[in-house]
Structures are given as C-alpha cells and as structure tokens.
C-alpha cells in the first residue's frame, strides 16, 4: 500500500473511532453496541492481516481506532509542522 493510501485508510479508521467515542459519550452506545462490536471484530481481523506486511501501518490503524483523539492530536501536530516548514521555505516579499 502506498503512503497516500495508508494515510487515507488511517484517517478513515480514525473517523470511525471518533464516531464510536462520541456515541459512547452520548449514551446511545447501547443501541449500537452490537454494530460497533462487529465493526471492531472486522477491524481486528483486517489489522492482523495488514500487520503481516506492514506492522507500522497496523499499529497506526490500531491507535487511530482505539485512541482516535490521540491520533487526531498527532495528525494536527504533524500538519502544524508542515505549515511551519512551508512558511520557512517561502520567499519573503519585500515591498521596498
């Protein structure tokens, strides 16, 4: 899997994890617990399959699903570093 595809998959898994967390906090989880249980089972099987070829990606997916807020914080920090790097490489405009 190329890095762009891996990133998109990790973002998708993180969004599912955030949805699960939000539903759990809004006390609607009982209504959807069976569905989320099946999602988690399928995800665990998928992550195990991925770990055979790319253990780092499997670890990132696991973190994105189990700790989506943490994964989102790391994603935001990485984005901020990228913005800072872009600003530092842009030529400055002199109006003089």
Mean pLDDT (10-residue bins), the chain, 96 residues: 88 88 81 88 92 91 83 72 79 58
Q: Which pLDDT belongs to residue 86?
A: 80
Q: Provide the whole-model pTM.
A: 0.67
Q: Tokens 């003089």 identify what position?
A: 96
Degrees to nearest 5, angle at CA 31 with 68 and 20: 5
Q: Which pLDDT belongs to residue 56?
A: 92
Q: Which pLDDT belongs to residue 41?
A: 93
- Please give the Cα distance from 7 to 47 (Å, whole number): 14
Q: Where are the beta strands (DSSP E) in 6-81?
A: none
| Residue among 81, 63, 77 at smallest CA distance from 18 | 63
């Amino acid at each position: 899997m190329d890095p762009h595809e891996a990133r998109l998959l990790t973002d998708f898994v993180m969004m599912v994890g955030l949805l699960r967390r939000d539903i759990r906090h809004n006390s609607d989880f009982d209504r959807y617990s069976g569905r989320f249980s099946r999602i988690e089972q399928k995800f665990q099987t998928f992550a195990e399959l991925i770990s055979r070829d790319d253990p780092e990606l499997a670890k990132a997916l696991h973190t994105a699903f189990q700790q989506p807020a943490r994964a989102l914080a790391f994603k935001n920090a990485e984005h901020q570093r990228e913005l800072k790097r872009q600003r530092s490489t842009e030529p400055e405009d002199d109006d003089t």
